């Protein structure tokens, strides 16, 4: 969990869960911010909150002799919520 405030008074909260087993893994992230400064392109939309999840699996267990075995991953992104205004 991360909590932060900017010098201008903005706030940011982020939570992440990450599980990685020998054949399967999952990562979930959620971030919410209000008036929190973040480097972005000049024409980019300011995002108030976002959620991201990913899942991966390996066809065979990973071990010392199997380093570099193929990994398949799937990522899902929730719709972005633009800041009002």
> Do 6 and 37 touch, CB atoms closer than 8 A?
yes
> Do 26 and 1 touch, CB atoms closer than 8 A?
no
Does the predicted model carry a pTM greater than 0.75? no
What span, in angstroms and rounded, lies between the C-alpha atoms of 5 and 1?
14
Please check the confidence at residue 18 and state whether its pLDDT lies above 90: yes
pLDDT digits 0-9 by tens, 38-66: 777 888 887 789 899 999 888 876 555 54
């Amino acid at each position: 969990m991360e909590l932060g405030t900017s010098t201008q008074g903005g706030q940011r909260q982020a939570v992440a869960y990450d599980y990685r087993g020998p054949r399967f893994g999952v990562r979930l992230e959620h971030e919410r911010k209000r008036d929190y400064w973040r480097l972005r392109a000049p024409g980019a939309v300011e995002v108030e909150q976002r959620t991201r999840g990913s899942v991966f699996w390996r066809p065979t267990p990973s071990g010392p002799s199997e380093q570099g075995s193929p990994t398949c991953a799937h990522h899902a992104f929730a719709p972005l919520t633009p800041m009002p205004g």
